């Protein structure tokens, strides 16, 4: 009985870390796992509180259980963007198309200092699009005010977690000097979760 419970818990944990991504900084409009495939903002269609976003040296931070994904950042220069604005922004030269190459936390620079639309005090919405190739395309958005003086901006939130070896050695790179063990929990779970399930299944079979 206990083993079945444990198996379910492990499966649930694995599913929860592997199937989605979250925008962790700046704060997302919202996240609901089932609705994250809903364009353009994972079902969060209305404006939320704005974060002061630096025109120079900005970034977005995400967390996911996937090992690889293609990732796109779009910006919509509009105080209340609608679907058509998001569609148009996806083709803009301001978009960043990149790749995520590790599970856990990822920091993607998003510098707007060369963009003439990014003037001090401009309202904008940043849309992030995540495609692991293993399921639906996923969406998260954040509402911002672009500024030369992002006094509350947290540069320490820019973290790339990296699993460096099968021994589970975990390090961090990018704009951060250190990472806490919790930063690689999702990654570690991805790496060891399947092994744990195999062990549970084998022990079940041997006892029955
Ligand atoms: C948005 O800001 C208002 C005023 O500062 C605050 O009361 C509210 O809790 C904030 N909402 C969220 C979702 O953080
Ligand atoms: C975006 O670009 C693609 C291919 O270049 C094009 O097919 C599509 O119509 C464009 N969409 C918009 C909204 O401009
Ligand atoms: C973090 O890793 C991603 C690849 O997953 C890379 O594109 C990005 O530039 C890295 N961020 C920093 C700040 O090094
Ligand atoms: C940009 O706006 C902020 C807040 O309104 C202000 O503190 C800052 O001085 C402005 N920067 C420039 C270059 O005008
Ligand atoms: C920016 O957005 C806020 C609501 O989030 C709105 O109150 C304000 O008027 C907008 N500013 C401009 C210049 O449109
Ligand atoms: C930046 O903003 C802070 C608080 O919003 C303000 O005290 C400071 O004077 C501003 N700095 C500049 C250069 O405008
Ligand atoms: C900035 O981000 C780091 C890393 O996520 C976090 O530990 C720290 O509490 C944040 N600082 C503030 C002021 O929110
Ligand atoms: C972990 O990896 C880092 C960087 O590759 C290395 O400096 C460190 O010695 C390693 N730690 C262990 C315990 O293997
Ligand atoms: C992180 O970036 C900020 C400004 O973007 C800089 O002031 C700080 O020194 C950087 N920290 C590290 C550890 O590179």
The full 3-state SS of 121-152, as one line of letters, equals CCEEEEEEEEECCCCCCEEEEEEEEEECCCCC
Give residue 97 CA to ligand 4 midpoint distance, Å: 29
Q: How far apart are CA 170 and CA 33, in angstroms?
A: 27
Instruction: Judge whether residue 11 has pLDDT over 70.
Output: no
Residue 136 vs residue 11, higher pLDDT = 136
Handedness of CA 168, 171, 172, 176 (dihedral sign): positive
pLDDT digit string, tens, across residues 137-150:
999 999 999 999 99
Q: How far does residue 3's CA lie from ligand 7's centre (Å)?
A: 38
| 83 CB within 6 A, ligand 6 | no
> Which protein residue's CA is at the shortest distance from atom 4 of ligand 5?
79
What pLDDT sits at residue 174?
43
Q: Which atom of ligand 3 is nearest to the CA of 59?
A: 13
Instruction: Tell me if 10 sits within 8 A of 197, measured CB to CB.
Output: yes
Q: What is the mean pLDDT of residues 19-30?
A: 95
How confident is residue 162, by pLDDT bands cut at 50, 70 and 90? Answer: confident
Low-confidence winner among 32-46, 47-61, 106-120, 158-172 (lowest mean pLDDT): 158-172
Residue 176 has pLDDT above 60, yes or no: no
Give the per-residue pLDDT at 173: 45
Nearest partner of 192 among 62, 13, 64, 20, judged by Cα: 13
Residue 106, domain extent: 2-206
**For the domain that residue 153 is a member of, what is the CATH number?**
2.60.40.2550
Ligand 1 interacting residues, C-beta cut-off 6 A: 48-49
Number of neighbouring beta carbons within 10 Å of residue 121:
10
User: Angle between the 185-207 and 2-18 helix axes, to the nearest 10 degrees?
Assistant: 150
146 backbone dihedrals φ, ψ, rounded to 5°: -75, 135
Return the structure tokens found at 135: 């399921």
Cα of 55 to ligand 5 centre, how many Å? 17
- Using most ligand atoms within 8 A of CB, pick from 25, 155, 156, 173 the residue to mutate for ligand 9: 155
- Over the chain, what is the mean pLDDT? 81
Between these two residues, 181 and 70, which has the higher pLDDT value?
70
In the chain, % of residues over pLDDT 70: 69
- Determine the Cα–Cα distance for residues 138 and 146; give it in Å rounded to an integer: 25
Check residues 181 and 87 and name the one with the higher pLDDT: 87
pLDDT at 90 over 50: yes
| Residues 151-188: b if buried by 16+ CB within 10 A, e if exposed | eebeeebbbbbbbeeeeeebebebebeebeeebbbbbb
Residue 121 has pLDDT above 80, yes or no: yes
Q: Specify the number of domains making up the chain.
A: 1
Please tell me the number of the ligand nearest to residue 44's CA.
1
Could you report the per-residue pLDDT of 31-50, keeping only the tens digit for each? 999 999 999 999 999 999 99
Q: What percent of the chain has pLDDT over 90?
A: 67
Residue 189 pLDDT:
47
- Look at the chain and count its residues: 208
For residues 99 and 70, the answer to whether their CB atoms sit within 8 Å is: yes
| Among the bound ligands, the one closest to the CA of 59 | 3
153 or 179, higher pLDDT: 153
| Ligand 6 centroid – CA 146 distance (Å) | 14
């Amino acid at each position: 009985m206990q083993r079945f419970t444990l198996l379910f818990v492990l499966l649930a944990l694995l599913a929860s870390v592997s199937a989605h991504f979250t925008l962790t900084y700046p704060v997302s409009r919202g996240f609901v796992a089932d609705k994250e495939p809903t364009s353009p903002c994972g079902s969060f269609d209305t404006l939320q509180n704005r974060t002061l976003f630096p025109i120079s040296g900005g970034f977005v931070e995400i967390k996911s259980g996937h090992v690889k994904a293609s990732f796109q950042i779009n910006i919509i220069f509009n105080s209340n963007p609608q679907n058509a604005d998001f569609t148009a922004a996806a083709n803009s030269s301001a978009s960043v198309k990149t790749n995520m190459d590790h599970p856990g936390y990822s920091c993607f620079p998003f510098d707007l200092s060369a963009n003439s639309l990014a003037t001090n005090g401009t309202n904008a919405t940043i849309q992030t699009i995540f495609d692991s190739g293993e399921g639906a395309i996923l969406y998260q958005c954040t509402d911002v005010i672009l500024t030369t003086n992002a006094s509350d901006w947290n540069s320490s939130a820019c973290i790339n977690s990296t699993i460096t070896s099968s021994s589970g050695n975990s390090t961090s790179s990018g704009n951060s000097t250190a990472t806490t063990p919790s930063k690689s929990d999702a990654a570690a779970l991805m790496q060891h979760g399947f092994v744990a399930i195999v062990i549970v299944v084998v022990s079940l079979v041997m006892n029955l």
